[in-house]
Structure 1
């Protein structure tokens, strides 16, 4: 459900303090934004974001931070705007390999995104001189440390 209050601020959530400080520096005191810590990991991020949303009137939530990426899809230092959010390691390891929750019939590993809004944001970022692309955002609970794992996630 999209919240459309026109006078609400924009909530920006970051995992760690260094990311929060960088966002605040970039915003230069712009009061249209509230920047809060989500914490590391999905449970902390979900709980912290829910608390922040309950305490304020926000029209948009942005999860901002530094992440790994696939250079073929987004050049280094690009701004990537989600057109899909995928919990890439939510599932089970089987004798045949990894099976997602989708394959197991336990729900979905994908979270819906307003793709029209994603495209508008990418266009605005590009107009402002940023390198920006829309694409799927993968979230994982363990940082990817090998090329083999990165290739599996890309698939």
Structure 2
């Protein structure tokens, strides 16, 4: 049977997902931190599965995330409508310029800076997780840790519900392989000034196990 590929950044997240999944066709793999390594590793896993004649029916980027205060609280679950490359672009005296506004030819932009989740996967998970907060999830290479940084992100992405480090890379790999993609996150901390003492990783991982039951 052909199932889902679920990729996480670190082993603790993978273990939390595995603890909640009962479907033996769901494969869970920790692939590393950040969009580059996550994208490369996911692309390799998809290519190997396709070469073996057993392509995955979907890819889920799963794990913990920072949540924007208001849309989602610590311990809450998030479903990403879009994976957004929030820091892909250029600085300028007038502020940040997103990559798709730099005047490059469209063919050089690839998937652009925002990749939509597969509507069928998103709808299925939304039905199984009715309490989840649904909205764009930002992918960053540097986690936001200041009030100024948080304010700027909220200004540029007012609908964003969470921030993580792998979703966009995984989404690009899935798009290149024409495999459906969705992002599932649980919130361990608010986006804002970095305060490790305020993180609730244990609670977020427990919530991830509970949410992972929706994957099968």
With the shorter chain as reference, the TM-score category is 0.7 to 0.9
Q: Which has the higher contact order (CA 8 A, sep 6+)?
A: 2
The two structures, once aligned, show a CA RMSD in angstroms of 1.6
SS of 2:66 mapped into structure 1: coil
Distance change in 2, residues 1:148/1:119 (3 Å): farther
Equivalence map 1:7-22=2 (5 Å): 7-22=1-16
Quote the Cα distance in structure 1 between the aligned partners of 2:92 and 2:14: 38
Aligned to 1:78: 76
Equivalence map 1:5-154=2 (5 Å): 7-27=1-21, 30-56=23-49, 57-106=55-104, 107=109, 108-126=112-130, 131-154=131-154
Quote the Cα distance in structure 1 between the aligned partners of 2:120 and 2:152: 28
Distance change in 2, residues 1:73/1:115 (3 Å): farther
TM-superposed deviation, 1:96: 1.2
TM-superposed deviation, 1:122: 1.2
TM-superposed deviation, 1:116: 5.0
Gaps of 5+ in 2: 50-54, 156-216
Quote the Cα distance in structure 2 between the aligned partners of 1:60 and 1:148: 37
Quote the Cα distance in structure 2 between the aligned partners of 1:95 and 1:120: 44
Quote the Cα distance in structure 2 between the aligned partners of 1:112 and 1:24: 25
TM-superposed deviation, 1:69: 1.2
| TM-score normalised by L of structure 1 | 0.85
Structure 1 stretches of at least 4 aligned residues deviating more than 6 Å after TM superposition: none
Gaps of 5+ in 1: 1-6
TM-superposed deviation, 1:75: 2.5
Count of residues in correspondence between the two structures: 144
Q: Name the structure with the higher helix share.
A: 2
| TM-score normalised by L of structure 2 | 0.62
Quote the Cα distance in structure 2 between the aligned partners of 1:76 and 1:94: 34
